[in-house]
Amino acid sequence: MAIHSIIIGTGSYLPPKILTNADLEKIVDTSDEWITQRSGIKERHIAADDESTGDMALAAARNAIEAAGISPDEIDGVIVATTTPDRTFPSVAVKVQGELNIPSGLAFDVQAVCTGFVYALTVADNFIKLGQAKRILVIGAEKMSSLVNWEDRTTCVLFADGAGAVILEAKENNDGLDGQGIHSTHLYANGKQRDMLQTTGGVSTTGDNGHIEMQGRDVFKYAVSYMADVVKETLEHNNITADKIDWLVPHQANIRIISATADKLNMSMDKVVVTVDRHGNTSAASIPLALDEAVRDGRIKRGQLLLIEAMGGGLTWGAALVRF
């Protein structure tokens, strides 16, 4: 019997404050037309000053636990994907573990910027497949607004805050691709491209967090080609064609990157979960936020095949094929 990681529950949290493109027009020299045309973003959620990544992660986690119908003491692992932790240490994951009264098991953060959730999902899946954990809470949570230079119009219009979570549970099945669970994960990084999207500071260099700076045009170009490659690899690895995918759940950076990937798959946009217009780019939180929205509104149903993909700073990129 093969062990698979099944998603038994999803949850999410968005801070109540909404920042529209019209609001941004008052902060920097930009326009609703430019932001909409270049990115597809119309509005985004921004956390309150006293609301941390950990607070948002906790809210999403509670949601996912309720959806899964389990108790926190049945969880034996917490992995949080984030680039914007509450503190340099300890991790956001231990805060979540402590606040939820999860009695034991592993807890740590993963940092792969916008690809963080796919990395965290992969790590959790591997722990489960190896029999080292039975139920892992995987969270993507970010307060990107705290890393943005609010005077830099090239980045401040793109990034936003929020959190999403899933609970993975070990289940034995031998049904091949028809069986529920994560069927494959594919991770990549190219550290030679680390300057393309980075912060201007850090703990062991400037002593502060710095701000996001991005060579947007180059990132865009690589995003489209890396996404196409990893999605193709995922389909070939599982011996399927794109028409077998029920839903594409992509990282929400830019509607043009999302459409380009759907185009390469010959997939209609009706089968793509899009939240970038309302959520902006919430980095590691964007995929679990999109997943939870589509599960709760009934678009994603049990038994459907999901293709998850992301690309971000590093550069890093990756994909996962999941039978929900």
Footprint of ligand ACO (CB under 6 A)? 30, 34-35, 38-39, 113-114, 153-154, 157, 197, 216-217, 219-220, 223, 253-254, 257, 281, 283, 311-313
Does the annotation mark 254 as catalytic?
Answer: no
Rounded to the nearest whole angstrom, what is the least distance from the CB of residue 142 to ligand ACO in the complex? 9
Residue with tokens 């999803």: 10
Rounded to the nearest whole angstrom, what is the least distance from the CB of residue 68 to ligand ACO in the complex? 29
User: Please, which residues have CB within 8 angstroms of residue 44's CB and are 6 or more apart in sequence?
Assistant: 18, 19, 159, 160, 161, 278, 279, 280, 282
Q: Please report, for residues 61, 223, 255, 307, 309, the alpha-carbon distance to residue 294 in angstroms, rounded to integers and kept in the order given.
A: 17, 24, 17, 13, 16
Whether 281 and 258 have beta carbons less than 8 Å apart is answered as no
Rounded to the nearest whole angstrom, what is the least distance from the CB of residue 123 to ligand ACO in the complex? 18
Closer residue to ligand ACO, CB minimum distance, 100 or 311:
311
Rounded to the nearest whole angstrom, what is the least distance from the CB of residue 316 to ligand ACO in the complex? 8
Beta strands in 105-160 (DSSP E): 106-110, 135-143
- Exactly one of 156, 251, 254, 279 is catalytic; which is it? 251
- Exactly one of 114, 156, 183, 279 is catalytic; which is it? 114
User: Please, which residues have CB within 8 angstroms of residue 127's CB and are 6 or more apart in sequence?
Assistant: 77, 106, 133, 136
Best CA proximity match to 85, nearest among 202, 182, 171, 223:
202
Beta strands in the chain (DSSP E): 2-13, 18-20, 43-45, 77-81, 106-110, 135-143, 161-173, 181-189, 197-199, 212-214, 247-250, 305-312, 316-323
User: Please, which residues have CB within 8 angstroms of residue 2's CB and are 6 or more apart in sequence?
Assistant: 172, 173, 174
Closer residue to ligand ACO, CB minimum distance, 5 or 82:
82
Rounded to the nearest whole angstrom, what is the least distance from the CB of residue 217 to ligand ACO in the complex? 4
Closer residue to ligand ACO, CB minimum distance, 95 or 211:
211
Q: How many residues does the chain have?
A: 324
Closer residue to ligand ACO, CB minimum distance, 81 or 138:
81
Closer residue to ligand ACO, CB minimum distance, 75 or 110:
110
Closer residue to ligand ACO, CB minimum distance, 38 or 237:
38
Rounded to the nearest whole angstrom, what is the least distance from the CB of residue 276 to ligand ACO in the complex? 10
Closer residue to ligand ACO, CB minimum distance, 58 or 219:
219
Q: Distance between CA atoms of 293 and 273, rounded to whole angstroms?
A: 9
SS3 state at 198: strand
Does the annotation mark 251 as catalytic?
Answer: yes
- Give the residue closest to ligand ACO by C-beta: 312
| 29 burial type by CB count under 10 A (0-12 exposed, 13-18 middle, 19+ buried) | exposed
Q: Distance between CA atoms of 88 and 2, rounded to whole angstroms?
A: 38
Does the annotation mark 21 as catalytic?
Answer: no
Whether 86 and 52 have beta carbons less than 8 Å apart is answered as yes
Q: Name residue 78's amino acid.
A: V
Rounded to the nearest whole angstrom, what is the least distance from the CB of residue 135 to ligand ACO in the complex? 29
Active site members: 114, 251, 281
